[in-house]
Structure 1
Amino acid sequence: MIQFLESIGFTQNEARTYLAGLSLGYSAVSTIAKKAWINRTTAYAVLDDLVAKWFVYESYRGNARYYSVLDPENLLEVFRKRISKIEKILPELQAMNANIVTGPKVKYYQWFEEVKQLYIQEYKDSPIEMRIFKAWVERLDEKKKLRDFRKELIKKIHSNQVRIIGNTTSSTKEDDKKGNIERRNIQDSELFLPASIKIYGNKVHFVSLKNNLFGVEIENEDIASCLKQIFDCIWKNNNSLSI
């Protein structure tokens, strides 16, 4: 029971004194101190704190002070009042924290398994529309496995549209037929990207397939909007379709 009281904010001496007073009823300080295994001077200080917190009632008999613990149900009432006070001030606290809360959320992913989780998150998000800047770098072993895994997920994403800007190959044309995918073919001499970029909703994903494999997710409406507009501008001004 002492551990429980400590978990809701009591100090160890407060918990001992509260339980001692509860079991004794209306008692003098010396009696409560003995039961709680603390000295009388400490008991006075602890009981004063408990009185201030509305857990203990203080009264006098002559010049002597006596204490009685209030009904345990009062514990619940005290904490209800505290919660009510927090709820009233919460909007003001949230407003003070607005700059932090509304700032970009950034997550980092390293190596194959973590970057794989980034792709799985895209599948779970199931975006209505996805824009992709394809990376043009040589993919070896692990990176090829990741590419194949990504291709399978894109087919499963229930997007109204997946648009990809990148260098087109015969294999990508075949993949496009299996999903709602449209491409603009731009040679790497015109736009060479060492990392792929995916934009959907308020998220932007960067995945570097060059040297060390890693990914970055940025969740922010303004950043996503900027990249969507850049993508759409390139898309509009390039009519070379792969389909």
Structure 2
Amino acid sequence: MPKNIEQLLSQVGLLPSESKVYLGALELGPSTVQHIAAKARISRTAAYEAIELLQKRGLMSSSLSGKKRLYIAEDPHRIVSYLKGEQQKFATTLEDIEQTIGTLHLMSGGIKPAVKVYEGEEALPAYFDQLAKANPSAMYEISNLDDVYAHLETETIQASRKAVSWKDIKTLRLLHRGEIRHRRDDVEYGMLDESFGEFHGDISIYGDFVSMMTFIGRPVVVILESKSVADTMRALFNAAWDRTRRA
């Protein structure tokens, strides 16, 4: 029995046992299930199950010859007819699903945000790698610079920053607590006063991403991808930016 034909039948949706039974019955002509099972080299039970499935697909039929029931493989052209019917069903189902995508999103509460967490030595490089992949035109950051300088080596920060093409980011705004030690000409700075409360760590908003970092103890970076969350955080950042003194 040609293996390539079995594989082809499997690719169009037939189970391996169905392929063996159909091809075996096609070679034998009208035959009993015992003969078909022997030809297909499968058990009689498996042959019965395969025949039942093939009959539902319209690819096998049966007839009585005396007291014996014989099974007949339908003409191979029936496979083409079967596939065309399945293709039409699939096209109709696909169209129905496309029309219900909005309803499905509502049922699931909308598109779920993707969250990635990095810890330890991989945390900072992972943050800058994600920023480089996002390649945003604007970036907004809130940071406690005292935490950054106290818990991260300057060399570590500079090495990780090399992954990003900073010239492509046209708008860079930083709301900060603490002293600026390495001022950059391409960054706009805003000083957070005491009224904003105590906080530790860093939050960055860029594209559809929000990254949250803490450097006290073991460094942890949480990167969340969600347009709605990023838009909300940008709105909050802009509200705070309008209230701050430019540094």
Q: Same fold (TM over 0.5)?
A: yes
Q: Secondary structure at the match of 2:246?
A: coil
Q: Is the CA contact (8 Å cut-off) linking 1:25 and 1:68 kept in structure 2? A: no
Alignment of 1:122 with 2:131, yes or no, is yes
CA RMSD between the two structures: 3.3
1:206 Cα offset (Å): 0.4
SS where residue 109 of structure 1 aligns? strand
Matches within 5 A, 1:61-76: 62-63=65-66, 64-71=69-76, 73=80, 76=83
Q: What are the Cα deviations for residues 150-200 of structure 1, in whole angstroms up to 9, with x where unaligned?
A: 544556251221000114646422xx12xx211113367965432110012
Q: In 1, Cα distance between the equivalents of 2:46 and 2:235?
A: 69
In structure 2, how many angstroms separate the alpha carbons of the residues matched to 1:155 and 1:191?
33
Alignment partners' CA distance in 2, 1:166 and 1:84? 55
Please say if 1:224 is aligned against 2:224.
no
* Residues 84-136 of structure 1 deviation map (CA, whole Å, 9 limit, x = unaligned): 24313322563453125523322222222254123112112121211101133
Structure 1 position 161 matched with structure 2 position 138: no
CA distance in 1, matches of 2:216, 2:97: 46
In the superposition, the TM-score normalised over structure 1's length comes to 0.77
Unpaired stretches in structure 2, ≥5 consecutive residues: none
Contact kept? 1:186, 1:240, Cα under 8 Å? no
Q: CA deviation at 1:68?
A: 1.4
Aligned equivalents of 1:157, 1:27: Cα separation in 2: 76
> Distance in 2 between the 1:15 and 1:233 partners?
66
Q: TM-score, normalised by structure 2?
A: 0.76
Checking the alignment, whether the CA contact within 8 Å between 2:116 and 2:223 is kept in structure 1 is yes
Unaligned runs of 5+ in 1: none
Q: Distance in 1 between matches of 2:16 and 2:136?
A: 53
Question: 8 Å contact 2:151–2:216 — kept in the other structure?
Answer: no
1:21–1:27 Cα contact (<8 Å) kept = yes
Distance 2:82 2:167 in 1: 52
Q: Within 2, Cα distance between the matches of 1:108 and 1:117?
A: 9
Task: Return closer, same or farther for 1:96/1:115 CA change in 2, 3 Å cut-off.
Answer: farther
Task: Pick the aligned partner of 1:201 from 193, 207, 232.
Answer: 207
Q: Which residue of 1 aligns with 2:182?
A: 172
Task: Tell me whether 34-43 or 106-115 shows the greater mean CA deviation.
Answer: 34-43
Q: How many residues align?
A: 235
Secondary structure at 1:211 match in 2: coil
Residue 83 (str. 1) matches residue 87 (str. 2): no
